[in-house]
């Protein structure tokens, strides 16, 4: 009579007077049970709207903070990426170098690894540009000769290659000086790295917070359904059966929290869009704030759901075992 | 079907609720368990429901030793047993139908099956028309009959009852007992714990009397004493 396998159990239980539960029947019953458990979990949440709302908002805030920081870091990175692509090395040619030698240097520069493009700027065109841009046009007319050297603008493929290229180019003949004004960009890069680490740390800390909040909510739910759990255990409910509604509740809390967090992030995005556009306009940039996007939304839902489920699992593991029929 | 083999139960703190109890019940047999409160009736039923485990001795159901049943198998064992409680343990946050359906839901029956079996069980206790009501709206006797419907809805082979008539007047109590007899008639092994001596004497059935944890008497009553 004590069952050893599910098949033996069913035939042993019903063989004498009822039909055996088929595999299909079991699957249908199982699916129906999951659906109705999910439904009743949602209904139970709505029955205590204030408590549920409170939990959802706490989860939403805990998800919004790291997500907003993450989006800020990503946006700044995008912005710096735009600048990065225009990062250039200025290579100044030794005064008095002859035409063919300068052309040779140009070919040498093109041949270096990690160089995207090389642009030649003659001394004359540099002077013209300087006259036009600086406003010293009149004063420059008094100079006997053009003080500006001939130059190449070298565009590196990657920002990381820039420093190496500077040392390599310095060693070439006819090179007077190489200037790289990108150090601030490298600093920004380091800063962004730090930002990303901060996002992770914040997300981890708040994730633990959410787990505890959901855990506490589920603990209260378990206590308020003590009688039901006792009866279910007495009529042969497995631990998994008893656990399931609470796990669904945790999952729903996490997902609702993620949806509210997505709404908060969208509102935040709209709120910031005006000032950012203004700032971008001042810098003549085409920069636009990038929001969460569809992929980000799905990730947020998954993270919210996982964290909610984890919280529920924790509470269930701790408290369900203590409820025994007596 | 049920075999107690020199079984003892000592609770933490040293109280010995059952001492070397041995008895056997055949499949389809009905018996009463009686004795003063504290004699060990509830403990004996708890052992049969695996709410408690014996300190020593063996408890065999259908030849299988329950002592060796793993914790994870306990729910499956309980699905073969129906239990009726004195305080009926109905849930007042759902309808009569949903209360009775619980053992079937737990065992994974499909909605169609559940509906059919629940109505059959409610019909057998004469309360089919109450299925959509909340059990809180029913009388004590009706609540107890709902509890019985829930205990038999999954057609268990063993039906246990702990003081099922404890709060009922004599006429209702007799009705409840007659109901148990009907389940015995269809082959269920029925064990009812009750201290209502007058009532169980009238039933002409096997009576086991516990006294301070020991089996004091085990036999058929003939309505006499």
CB-based contact A2 B65, cutoff 8 Å: yes
Residues of B in contact with A3 (CB under 8 A): 73, 76-77, 80
CB-based contact B113 A227, cutoff 8 Å: no
Residue closest to B213 by CA, chosen among B19, B54, B37: B19
In degrees and rounded to multiples of 5, residue B173 shows phi and psi of -60, -45
Instruction: Give percent above pLDDT 90 in chain A.
Output: 23
- Across A236-265, b (16+ Cβ under 10 Å) vs e yields bbbbebbbbbbbbbbbbbbbbbbbbbbebb
Is residue B148 within 8 A of residue B176, CB to CB? The reply is yes
Instruction: Give percent above pLDDT 90 in chain B.
Output: 48
Domain A88-181 belongs to what topology?
A: Alpha-Beta Plaits (3.30.70)
Q: How many residues does chain A have?
A: 326
Residues of A in contact with B73 (CB under 8 A): 2-4
Please tell me the distance in Å from A312's CA to the nearest CA on chain B. 21
**pLDDT of B224 higher than 50:** no
Interface test with B, best of A25, A235, A321, A326 (most B CBs within 10 A): A235
Interface test with A, best of B52, B77, B94, B106 (most A CBs within 10 A): B106
Residue closest to A316 by CA, chosen among A258, A251, A256: A251
Please tell me the distance in Å from B187's CA to the nearest CA on chain A. 10
Identify the pLDDT of residue B44. 92
For the stretch B170-182, pLDDT in tens is: 888 888 898 899 9
Nearest CA in chain B to A7: B76
For the stretch B138-160, pLDDT in tens is: 988 899 899 999 999 999 999 99
**pLDDT of B132 higher than 70:** yes
Interface test with A, best of B51, B59, B76 (most A CBs within 10 A): B76
DSSP labels for chain B? -EEEEEEEEE-TTS-EEEEEEEEEE-TT-EEEEE-STTSSHHHHHHHHTTSS--SEEEEEETTEEGGG--GGGHHHHHTTEEEE-TTTT--TTS-HHHHHHHHHHHTT--HHHHHHHHHHHHHHTT-GGGTTS-GGGS-HHHHHHHHHHHHHTT--SEEEEESTTTTS-HHHHHHHHHHHHHHHHTT-EEEEE---HHHHHHTT-EEEEEETTEEEEEEE--S--
Other C-beta atoms closer than 10 Å to the C-beta of B180 total 25
Identify the pLDDT of residue A300. 92
Identify the pLDDT of residue A18. 43
Identify the pLDDT of residue A126. 81
- Contact with chain A for residue B102, Cβ under 8 A: yes
Average pLDDT value for chain B: 88
CATH number listed for the domain at residues B1-80+157-225: 3.40.50.300
Identify the pLDDT of residue B97. 94
- Contact with chain A for residue B136, Cβ under 8 A: no
DSSP A115: E
CB-based contact B155 A237, cutoff 8 Å: no
Low-confidence ranges of chain A (pLDDT < 50): 1-19
Interface test with A, best of B28, B63, B78, B110 (most A CBs within 10 A): B110
DSSP H helices in A225-292: 226-234, 239-282
CB-based contact A2 B110, cutoff 8 Å: no
For the stretch B14-29, pLDDT in tens is: 888 899 999 999 999 9
Identify the pLDDT of residue A85. 58
CB-based contact B77 A235, cutoff 8 Å: no
Residues of A in contact with B69 (CB under 8 A): 2
CB-based contact B65 A324, cutoff 8 Å: no
Identify the pLDDT of residue A3. 40
Q: What is the pTM of this model?
A: 0.71
Residue B108 has its nearest CB partner, among A3, A29, A233, at: A29
Residues of B in contact with A2 (CB under 8 A): 61-62, 64-66, 68-69, 73, 77
CB-based contact A241 B102, cutoff 8 Å: no
Nearest CA in chain A to B155: A14
Q: List chain A domain ranges.
A: 41-82+192-319, 88-181
The A-side interface with B (CB below 8 A) comprises 1-4, 6, 9, 12-14, 16-18, 21, 25-26, 28-30, 32-33, 227-228, 230-239, 241, 324-326
Residue closest to B201 by CA, chosen among B170, B169, B160, B168: B170
In this prediction, residue B223 has a pLDDT band, given cuts at 50, 70 and 90, of very low
- Contact with chain A for residue B109, Cβ under 8 A: yes
Identify the pLDDT of residue B67. 87
Nearest CA in chain A to B74: A236
Residues of A in contact with B79 (CB under 8 A): 9, 13, 235-236
**pLDDT of B103 higher than 50:** yes
Identify the pLDDT of residue B25. 92
- Contact with chain A for residue B157, Cβ under 8 A: yes
Q: How far apart are CA A273 and CA B117, in angstroms?
A: 62
Q: List chain B domain ranges.
A: 1-80+157-225, 88-155
Tokens 């160089």, located at residue: A115
Residues of A in contact with B91 (CB under 8 A): 227-228, 231
């Amino acid at each position: 009579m004590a069952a050893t396998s599910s098949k033996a159990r069913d035939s042993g239980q019903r063989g004498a007077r009822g039909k055996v539960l088929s595999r299909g029947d079991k699957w249908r019953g199982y699916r129906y049970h999951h659906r109705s458990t999910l439904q009743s979990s949602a209904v139970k949440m709505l029955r205590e709207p204030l408590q549920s709302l409170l939990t959802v908002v706490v989860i939403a805030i805990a998800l919004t903070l790291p997500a907003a920081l993450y989006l800020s870091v990503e946006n700044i990175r995008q912005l710096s990426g735009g600048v990065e692509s225009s990062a250039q090395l200025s290579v100044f040619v030794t005064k008095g170098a002859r035409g063919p030698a300068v052309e040779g240097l140009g070919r040498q520069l093109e041949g270096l690894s990690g160089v995207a493009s090389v642009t030649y700027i003659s001394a004359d065109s540099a002077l013209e540009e300087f006259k036009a841009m600086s406003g010293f046009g009149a004063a420059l007319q008094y100079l006997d000769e053009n003080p500006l050297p001939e130059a190449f603008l070298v565009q590196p493929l990657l920002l990381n290659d820039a420093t190496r290229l500077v040392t390599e180019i310095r060693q070439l003949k006819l090179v007077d000086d190489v200037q790289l004004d990108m150090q601030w960009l490298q600093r920004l890069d380091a800063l962004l790295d730090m930002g990303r680490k901060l996002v992770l740390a914040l997300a981890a800390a708040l994730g633990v917070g959410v787990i505890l909040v959901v855990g506490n909510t589920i603990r209260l739910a378990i206590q308020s359904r003590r009688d039901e759990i006792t009866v279910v255990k007495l009529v042969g409910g497995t631990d998994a059966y008893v656990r399931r509604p609470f796990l669904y509740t945790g999952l729903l809390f996490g997902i609702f929290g993620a949806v509210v967090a997505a709404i908060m992030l969208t509102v935040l995005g709209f709120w910031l869009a005006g000032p950012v556009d203004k700032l971008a306009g001042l810098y003549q940039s085409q920069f636009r704030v990038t929001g969460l996007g569809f992929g980000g939304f799905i990730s947020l839902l998954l993270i919210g759901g996982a964290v909610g489920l984890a919280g529920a699992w924790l509470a269930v593991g701790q408290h369900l075992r203590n409820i025994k029929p007596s | 079907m049920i075999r107690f083999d020199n079984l003892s139960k000592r609770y933490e703190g040293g109280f010995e609720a059952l001492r070397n109890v041995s008895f056997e019940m055949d499949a389809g047999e009905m018996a009463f368990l009686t004795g003063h409160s504290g004699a060990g009736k509830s403990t004996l039923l708890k052992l049969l429901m695996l709410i408690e485990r014996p300190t020593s001795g063996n408890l065999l159901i259908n030849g299988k030793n329950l002592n060796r049943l793993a914790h994870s198998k306990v729910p499956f064992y309980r699905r073969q047993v129906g239990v009726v409680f004195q305080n009926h343990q109905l849930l007042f946050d759902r309808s009569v139908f949903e209360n009775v359906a619980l053992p079937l839901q737990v065992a994974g029956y499909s909605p169609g099956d559940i509906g059919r079996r629940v109505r059959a069980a409610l019909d057998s206790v004469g309360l089919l028309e109450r299925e959509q009501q909340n059990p809180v709206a029913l009388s004590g006797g009706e609540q107890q009959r709902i509890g019985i419907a829930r205990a038999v809805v999954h057609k268990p082979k063993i039906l246990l009852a702990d003081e099922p008539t404890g709060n009922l007047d004599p006429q209702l109590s007799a009705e409840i007992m007659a109901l148990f007899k009907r389940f015995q008639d269809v082959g269920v092994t029925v064990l009812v714990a009750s201290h209502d001596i007058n009532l169980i004497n009238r039933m002409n059935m096997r009576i086991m009397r516990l006294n301070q944890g020991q089996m004091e008497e085990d036999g058929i009553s003939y309505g006499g004493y």
